[in-house]
């Protein structure tokens, strides 16, 4: 498995913060890092597979990746990401306990993901531009740079506490998070829509708009991506993987898998060498 190192993504190994933008995102191979990441989805949508779990991400989502996380982005859409990289080997001069705040939006759990309105996202982009202005690299501006980073983090967290439940995009964000956490279970779509104060028709239409898939096909996609990770990384039988990931039988699983990924589960396993 590939590990991304500080030496490649930072100006030097004594730099605390670095900026990486992807347009489009091309990290579709599973990897870990020797640094942390604060990620904002600037445009597009896709599946973020982290520690073997697929999580749908869309424009405005924000999350934190720790050095212990293993992840990649599955090709469901065209993602444009803003990545603020944090070097854990270098200490902030003035900030302490900032990681406690960042863990509130830890990417390992779908329920933790934040969501930014377009207005808040623009504010965050302006803060990021200020943090990484050339003059901020001088020692004399360290306090201001750390202050701007603290402002960015607290702006993101405040946005979560102030999110209006009447905002349909926010309700959809929470619905998708719930669906991802429960994707192996049978879903009562009417009950799920009611739970998030949406009509079933509205929920279905918005899921199709943001994912490009019907609710049923999106749920199947979540299950198949989870299954692909398990085929590559465990010695579970194909039948065990099928049942664990919510498929009634292995034949249906095999047919669905080949339709989406172009190979059968057994061929996938042989290709990965498990």
| pLDDT one digit per residue (tens) for the chain, 274 residues | 689 999 999 999 999 999 998 876 666 688 999 999 999 999 888 889 899 888 888 889 999 999 999 998 876 567 899 999 999 999 999 999 999 999 999 999 888 999 898 899 999 999 999 999 987 777 678 899 999 999 999 999 998 776 655 567 778 878 888 888 888 888 999 999 998 888 999 999 988 888 888 999 999 999 998 898 889 888 899 999 999 999 988 899 999 999 988 999 999 888 876 6
Q: Which CATH architecture has domain 2-162?
A: Sandwich (2.60)
Strand order from edge to edge, sheet including 2-4 = 2-4, 31-33, 71-74, 45-50, 53-58
Predicted local distance difference test score (pLDDT) of residue 187: 92
Which residues are CB-neighbours of 204 under 8 A, at least 6 positions away?
A: 189, 193, 214, 215
Q: What are the phi and psi torsion angles at 264 (to 5°)?
A: -80, 160
pTM assigned to the model: 0.80
CB 92 within 8 A of CB 85: no
Predicted local distance difference test score (pLDDT) of residue 164: 57
Q: What are the phi and psi torsion angles at 2 (to 5°)?
A: -75, 140
Token pair belonging to 65: 């990746």
Query: Pick from 14, 196, 25: which is nearest to 87 by CA?
Result: 14
Residue 28 CB: number of other CB atoms within 10 A? 13
User: CA distances (Å), 4 to each of 47, 124, 156, 221, in order?
Assistant: 20, 25, 26, 28
Q: Which CATH architecture has domain 165-274?
A: Orthogonal Bundle (1.10)
The Cα–Cα gap between 259 and 274 comes to 22
SS3 63: strand
Domain boundaries, the chain: 2-162, 165-274
Query: Pick from 47, 118, 116, 114: which is nearest to 79 by CA?
Result: 47
SS3 85: strand
DSSP 184: T
CB 74 within 8 A of CB 54: yes
Predicted local distance difference test score (pLDDT) of residue 274: 61
SS3 79: coil
Predicted local distance difference test score (pLDDT) of residue 240: 93
CB 210 within 8 A of CB 45: yes
């Amino acid at each position: 498995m590939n590990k991304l190192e500080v030496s490649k993504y930072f100006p030097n190994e004594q730099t605390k913060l670095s900026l990486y933008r992807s347009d489009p995102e091309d990290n579709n191979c599973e990897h870990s890092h020797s640094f942390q990441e604060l990620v904002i989805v600037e445009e597009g949508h896709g599946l973020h597979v982290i520690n073997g779990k697929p999580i749908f991400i869309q424009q405005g989502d924000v999350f934190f990746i720790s050095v212990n996380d293993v992840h990649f982005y599955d090709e469901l859409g065209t993602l444009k990401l803003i990545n603020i990289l944090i070097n854990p080997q270098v200490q902030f001069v003035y900030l302490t306990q900032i990681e406690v705040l960042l863990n509130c939006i830890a990417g390992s759990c779908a329920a933790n993901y934040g969501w930014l309105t377009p207005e808040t996202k623009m504010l965050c982009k302006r803060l990021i531009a200020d943090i990484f202005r050339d003059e901020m690299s001088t020692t004399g501006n360290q306090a201001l740079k750390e202050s701007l980073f603290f402002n960015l983090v607290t702006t993101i967290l405040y946005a979560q506490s102030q999110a209006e439940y009447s905002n349909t995009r926010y309700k959809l964000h929470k619905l998708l998070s719930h669906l991802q956490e429960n994707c192996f279970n049978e879903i009562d779509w009417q009950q799920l829509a009611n739970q998030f104060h949406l009509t079933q028709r509205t929920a279905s239409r918005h899921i199709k708009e943001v994912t490009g898939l019907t609710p049923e096909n999106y749920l199947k996609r979540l299950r198949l991506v989870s299954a692909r990770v398990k085929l590559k990384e465990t010695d579970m039988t194909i039948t065990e993987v099928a049942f664990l990931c919510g498929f009634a039988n292995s034949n249906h699983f095999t047919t669905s898998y080949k339709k989406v990924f172009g190979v059968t589960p057994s061929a996938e396993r042989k290709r990965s060498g498990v």
